[in-house]
Amino acid sequence: MSETRTTSPDTAAGTTDRLRRARSALLASFLLQGVTFALLVTRIPGIQHQYGLSDGELTVFLAAVPILAGVGSITSEQLVKRTSARGVLRVVQPAVCLTLVGVALGHALWSLGLALAAFGLLVGALDASMNMLGVGLQHRYGRSIMIGFHAAFSLGAIIGSALAGVGAHARLIVLFGSVAAVLVPAALVVGRFLAGPAELGSAVQEAAAAAARSIPWRPLLPLCAAMAFAYIADSSVSNWSAKYLTGTLHGGDTLGPFGYGGYMVAMLAGRLLGDRAVQRFGAVPVVRTGAAVASLGFLIAALAPGVWVGIAGFTVLGAGICAIIPQVFAAGGRLFPDDSDAAVARLNLFNYVGFLVGSPLVGAIAGAGSYRWALGAPLLLVLAVLPLGRHFAPARHQPLPLEHAAHPA
């Protein structure tokens, strides 16, 4: 007994320290990805100007990225089997940061196509490997910590939007190159502390095995639809808000990135407060309120007489959407408590469906009419979440989850 007391605590403390370091590293990884993604999407007007793209050509390029991201995500699963999620993430994250330089260097359409293709493939692999590690860490912690990782992404996106605003009048190569010069070394350092076998044990393999098990699609379909509608709204903001603010509302390059920035500020605040709201009011009222608020945000943006009202509309939109996406995953886990990872994996596919539909949909309507009319399409789709709200209710017989205080903080 005495030997156990002298050795076991040290071992447990060492494991806890490694888990905390790995969790901090993954939080940093999500934050770096948020900076990279926001910097790229908020400078879409600058990219369009540099390459001389028409709105139709821009729509095609933006539609190709989520398709390639899906390919990258599927490919990463095979790479992870041969190496590890940590190994894949260590390689692809610095590479994603470098694609910023590739986008900024060229002037020919073929060079932009190559750079965005690389970005799409690598982002898909990055998204999959980051969330794989997040699921593994969550299994080790024994409680929900995934929302925190996505909150770190939101914080990174706010930083990226601010950098885009500050560097709005700089050449793309100056802005993207200087930021990449910081992001790439940071990603290499963060990669050293990501979770591996010593921290995760068999958690990733257990999650993958759960995801491979067969579960019925039919109970998930309403949640799949809600996820797709939410990400159609999200892609509308990330891909077109800067274009709308600079073009239709004549906000200029300096204010263009602030639509996405305000959206992500509201998203971050909602993700920090959302769990408490669900605990107090329940998932169904929170999701339905979120859908109504998101629709109001689209309406404010579409009717905005000036750029600041447009920014306010996108900010209100973020406050609504943030409540929907995490609750889709939570509801899927409640439907299949023994196969929650499989349910989450299927629901996550509709992240890409939403991005694939959302950007071309808004671009096509804007090309045929105007961006004000184009914002009406995601507005109506978000309203469709209201009747789907009842599918977010927990089963009456299901006990409330218990937190395990013994797990590391």
User: Three-state DSSP class for 264?
Assistant: helix
Q: Quick: pLDDT tens for 28-64.
A: 999 999 999 889 888 888 898 899 988 788 878 877 8
Q: How far is CA 137 from the centre of its chain?
A: 18
Q: Quick: pLDDT tens for 205-231.
A: 555 555 555 677 888 899 989 989 998
Confidence of residue 345 (pLDDT cuts 50, 70, 90): low
Q: For residue 6, is pLDDT > 60?
A: no
What's the mean per-residue pLDDT of the chain? 81
**pLDDT of the residue at 1:** 39
**pLDDT of the residue at 9:** 45
**pLDDT of the residue at 408:** 46
d(CA 400, CA 239): 39
Contacts of 63 (CB under 8 A, 6+ apart): 356, 359, 360, 363
Same fold? 19-212, 215-395 = yes
Residue 62 vs residue 192, higher pLDDT: 192
**pLDDT of the residue at 13:** 53
- Tell me which long-range contacts 135-139 makes (C-beta under 8 A, separation of at least 24): 135/203, 135/204, 135/207, 135/341, 135/344, 136/85, 136/195, 136/200, 136/203, 136/204, 136/207, 137/19, 137/22, 137/23, 137/26, 137/195, 137/199, 137/200, 137/203, 139/200, 139/203, 139/206, 139/207
d(CA 290, CA 234): 13
Structure tokens at 174: 């100056």
**pLDDT of the residue at 406:** 40
d(CA 180, CA 101): 7
Structure tokens at 196: 């591996």
Any idea where the domains of the chain sit in the sequence?
A: 19-212, 215-395
- Tell me which fold the domain 215-395 belongs to: Growth Hormone; Chain: A; (1.20.1250)
Q: Quick: pLDDT tens for 291-337.
A: 999 999 999 999 999 999 999 999 999 999 987 887 887 787 777 76
CATH superfamily for 19-212 is MFS general substrate transporter like domains (1.20.1250.20)
Residue 101 near residue 173 (C-beta atoms within 8 A): yes
Nearest CA among 371, 329, 330 for reference residue 351? 329
The residue assigned the tokens 């982002």 is: 123
DSSP-derived secondary structure letter, 246: I
Q: For residue 361, is pLDDT > 70?
A: yes
